[in-house]
Amino acid sequence: MRKFNLLVLNEWLKIFKKRSFFIPYLIAVLFQAMIAYISHSFSPDSFPSAAAFIKEMLLPTGLGQIIAILAIIGTAGIVSKEHSQGTVKFLLIRARSRTAILASKYVTVLLYALSLTVVTAASIVISGILLFQTGGGETGIADILQSLLYGYVYTVVYVTFVFMVGVLTNSTGVTIGISMFAVMMDKVVIYRDFYKYFLFPNLDLSIYRGGTPPLPGMTLGFSILMLAVYMAVFLLAGFLVFRRRDVA
C-alpha cells in the first residue's frame, strides 16, 4: 500500500509542480464570486437564503458543470501527455505493474476533482454567507451536502469517461474535444424510451429531488446503477488497453 501511495504522490507532484496549478482553482473561485455578486445585485430575490444559494450553486446545473470542465482539462493529459512528452518510457520500466501505475493516475484525478470541488464549495459557502441572508428558509445542511455529493458524482463520472478516452486516444486535444462536446450535449434529452439507458440523462442525480424524472421509468436507483455500469465499463476499457498497449 505504501508503494501505491508513493505512486499517487508522484502523480500529484507532476500536477502540483506545474506553474499553472492554481489557475483552475482561481477560475472556479472567481466564477462563483461573479455569479454570487450578479445575483445579489440584480435579482436579490432569486435566493431566499444563503443555504438556498449554496445548494443551487453546487449542483451540476450550477457551478458543478464548471468544476467538471476544469477537472476534465486536468484529467485529459494525465496519460496522453506521458506519451507525447516521451516520459512514458521511463515510467513503465520500473518495478511496478502497469495496472498500479494507471490506478495511481486514476486515484490522483479523483483527488484532483475532489480538491476542486472542496475549494469551490468553500468559496461558495463564503460568498453565500457574505451576500445572502443567513438563517431562515427551508434549505438545511443536509440539502447542501446532498448537492455537494451530486456535484461530485457528476464530476467523477466525467473524469472517469475522460480518463478512458485519454488512454484510448493518447491525445490530449482529442480527449478535451470529445469531453467538451459531451458536456455541452448532456442537457439535451431525446424523448424516446431507449434514451434512459444512455449516460447523459442519468448524470445529474438532483433531478429526482421532488421533480419528475426526465423520462418515464427512471428512478434514483436506476440512475445510480446506470452510472456504476458505465464507470465500470470505462475503467475496464482503459485498464485493458493500457496494460496491453505497445509503447512505441
Partner 1 sequence: MERITANQGQSEIKGGVPVLQMNKVTKMIKGKAIVNQLSFEIGRGEIVGLLGPNGAGKTTTIRMMTGLIKMTEGDVLVQGHSIRNDFKQAIAHIGAIIENPEFYSHMTGLDNLLQYVRMSDGISKSRITEVVELVGLQEAMNKKVKAYSLGMRQRLGIAQALLHSPKLLILDEPTNGLDPAGIREMRDYMRKIAEVEGISILISSHMLGEIEQICHRAVVIQNGTLVRVTRLGAEAQTEGEVALTVRVDNIAAAQAVIQAEDGVKLTGADELHSELNIRLYDHKVPELVAALGAAKVGVYRITEHKQSLEEDFLNWTGGNRIA
| Among 42, 45, 93, 142, contact with partner 1 (rule: CB under 8 A) | 93
Cell numbers that stand for 241 in this block: 488497453
Measured CA to CA in angstroms, residue 57 lies from 25, 61, 161, 204 at distances of 16, 8, 23, 13
Q: Which residues contact 27 (CB under 8 A, 6 or more apart)?
A: 66, 70
Report yes or no: 156 and 65 within 8 Å, Cβ to Cβ: no
CB 208 within 8 A of CB 219: yes
C-alpha grid cell, residue 131: 451576500
Site map for partner 1, 163-202, x if CB under 8 A? ----------------------------------------
DSSP conformation class of 219? -
Site for partner 1 in 60-89 (CB under 8 A): 85-87, 89
Query: CB 95 → partner 1: shortest distance, Å?
Result: 4
Of these, 1, 95, 185, 188, which contacts partner 1 (CB under 8 A)?
A: 95
Say whether residue 97 binds partner 1 (CB under 8 A): yes
Judged by CB under 8 A, the stretch of 24-32, 95-103, 160-168, 212-220 that binds partner 1 is: 95-103
Residue type, 108: T
Which residue number, 85 or 219, has a Cβ lying nearer to partner 1?
85
Q: Is 92 in the site for partner 1 (CB under 8 A)?
A: yes
Give the single-character DSSP code of 87. T
Separation of alpha carbons 146 and 219, rounded Å:
17
Q: Which H/E stretch holds residue 119?
A: helix 98-131
Residues 6+ apart with CB under 8 A from 39: 46, 47, 53
Residue 19 interacts with partner 1 (CB under 8 A): yes or no: yes
Stretch near partner 1 under the rule CB under 8 A, chosen from 72-80, 90-98, 119-127, 204-212:
90-98
- Cβ proximity to partner 1: between 21 and 181 the closer is 21
CB of 85 to partner 1, least distance (A): 6
Q: Phi/psi of residue 169, each to 5°? A: -90, -25
Stretch that binds partner 1, among 160-168, 205-213, 231-239, 240-248 (CB under 8 A): 240-248
When the beta carbons of 92 and 224 are compared against partner 1, the nearer one is 92
Q: Which residues bind partner 1 (CB under 8 A)?
A: 3, 6-7, 9-10, 13-14, 17-19, 85-87, 89-97, 244, 246-248
